[in-house]
Amino acid sequence: MYTGLEHSPVEGRRLWDEVYNITYQRIAAPEEKDIAGESAGSSSPRPLKNSTTSSSRLQTSWERLSFLDSILQGELPCDLEKSNCTYDILLLLRVLECLNQLSPRLRALEASDAFAEGKIINFQELKVKGPVVPQKQFLSSKLTPKLARQMQDPLAVFSGGLPSWCNQLTKACPFLFPFETRRQYFYSASFGLSRALQRLQQQQSAENSNLNNNLEVRVGRVQRQKVRVYRHRILDSAMKVMEIYGSHKAVLEVEYFGEVGTGLGPTLEFYTLLSHELQKKVLGMWRSGSCSKEAAVAENVEMWDVEQHGAFLHTNEVSKIPTVETEEFVQSPQGLFPRPWPPNADSLQGSQFSKAINYFHLLGQVMAKALQDGRLLDLPLSTAFYKLVLMQELDLFDIQSFDRELGTTLQEMDAFVRRKQFLESLDDDNGKALSDLLFHNARIDDLFLDFTLPGYPDYVLKSEGNNIMVHIDNLEEYISLVVDATVKTGIMPQMEAFRAGFNQVFSLSSLQIFTESELESLLCGGRELWAAQSLVDQIKFDHGYTSNSPSIVNLLEILGEFTPEQQGAFLRFVTGAPRLPPGGLAALNPKLTIVRKHSTGANGGIKGTAQATDRDLPSVMTCANYLKLPPYSCKEVMRERLMYAITEGQGSFDLS
């Protein structure tokens, strides 16, 4: 191995002009790897098992401490000696940051205690709000640039030689570093040498670095795996593709049968279409709120399989798909959350339940692959679901984040129970006070509740629960069982299937340096309201257009007037995905470019005339984020033609 003793020192770009021989051997890898020591090849497939040992292991992984308990247990997950004064400082910061996150919950508990003691008598007063310390106050202005410099060191990244403090601090105290820095560290340390190198080159290229362009070729280009699927069999296609290629290190690229489009655009749309498919109510994955019915055109779709030695999906036999007049999609304004299944669902509803489990396994694979390849999903998951992804335990107070009505009712019932217990603890004769206790002007008995899960009458909370009525003396048990069924036992198999699928691609523990909102941004990007003034600096104008061109001025005004829904449709038309990566439009890679489209005169008019131009439609190159825009005669015509193209130009990738 090169040590620097046999050769003269080489610096800068010349370092890569030499070829060095490195001798190495494989070592036995531990069963669980941390984020810094994990390579892209370390995640081998781990299929679901039914063995007793596997079930026991999954059960153990589910039984975790609450977020607060895990913080207050008094230890940091690092090698720092407890006798070191720095240890106490970091631990104190960790506790304070945790309390800051939990401050809304602590205020709710305080209000519940006040209700129990009779200090407040109105349930509306349980809804308390208060300030929290801005997260930026916890950032370290000295540690952040140190970590950034470590990630800019090619030798440290390539050799996996990042100092141990990088992993330990980002894991123990991630709040010390801004999201963007942790995001760069995540991509540098989680997916192996080739991807880390690619990320570093992209970042340095964006910063006008003079890094040798041949470096990627010498060290190794990220492999790409192409698959071809049928557009109208997205869900089945995804299951087969992930089964075969999910655990591969190669970047997945998707094409469609019967379409000539290739590259980034079709791949991004594949993830978008799959995101929508996974929201169908018929899959039995999510809690049902209201459902929207969307007409679907029935078509005959060819069945396919994957050859053992082929990389493309292709026709095996033709099978007619039954006509479907409506498709129901779960509508959840607060985000999607797993539907609870009773413990005996496997025996009572075996087929439907097992399919739901398989879909969650697929969801885990898809989410992990999207993160690994830098793709975006259009999946409105709830904050509580992201908490589960981050291995946090949920409780009563989390229910309100995905089902406001149920969560509010349960919190009010919990406060009602505390009031009853407080009255019972008094030495005075409290019989009359107890008999006068009313829940929203009604006795608990008059609510006619039984021990079944609200909204899911087939989910019996206890033996013969459908025949047992809820009253004031068993209300506490009822609340406990409903919470357990909603956020624990009822969703345990689904989440374990999700985690098993995710871990087939890379380790789920790598995500624990992020918060729930950051994970959503990482996975689904974000949406921001556009302003015409700011768009000028985020878009490139070329081939006949400048930022001062009349057509560009009109376009920027139109984009600035778009609603969030219209923005999503425009982005999907131009890029293939309805969302932007973290950082917004400025972070789009390749940069959104607007070029002039010359009139074809194909509609019988004179080539180049304003009338012929106004009949032309804008077109796109999704692989390069190119929008080809004709120089329309006025803003109104441009808006009409652009909206028509956005609305009608979906569902196929052809040459333009």
Distance in angstroms (rounded) separating the CA atoms of residues 110 and 112: 5
Residue of 422, 503, 490 lying closest to 452 (CA atoms): 490
User: If you search the block for the tokens 């929508």, which residue do you land on?
Assistant: 276
Cα(502)–Cα(362) distance, integer angstroms: 8
Q: For 551-583, what is the HEC assignment?
A: HHHHHHHHHHHCCHHHHHHHHHHHHCCCCECCC
Q: Is 254 left (phi over 0), alpha (psi -120 to 50) or beta?
A: beta
Q: Identity (one letter) of the amino acid at 201?
A: Q
Q: Which residue in the block uniquely carries the two structure tokens 């019988």?
A: 604
Q: Is 607 exposed, middle or buried (0-12, 13-18, 19+ CB in 10 A)?
A: exposed
Nearest to residue 569, comparing CAs of 653, 655, 644?
Answer: 644
Can you tell me the distance from the alpha carbon of 60 to that of 507, in angstroms, rounded to the nearest whole number?
17
DSSP string, 35-50: SSS--GGG--------
Helix (H) or strand (E) holding 452: strand 452-453
Nearest to 332 by CA among 403, 283, 273: 403
CA 497 to chain centre: 17
d(CA 115, CA 619) in angstroms, rounded, equals 62
> How far from the centroid of its chain's Cα atoms is residue 291's Cα?
22
Q: Which member of 166, 173, 524, 623 is catalytic? A: 623
Beta bridge partners, 318, equal 302
For residue 445, give the amino acid letter.
D
Q: Is 98 annotated as catalytic?
A: no
Q: Among 233, 182, 289, which residue's Cα sits nearest to residue 582?
A: 182
> In which residue are the tokens 């996975």 written?
523
Distance CA 380, CA 522 (A): 13
**Residue recorded with tokens 């894991």:** 171
CB 624 within 8 A of CB 575: no
* Surface-to-core class of residue 364, CB atoms within 10 Å of its CB (0-12 exposed, 13-18 middle, 19+ buried): buried
Active site residues: 623
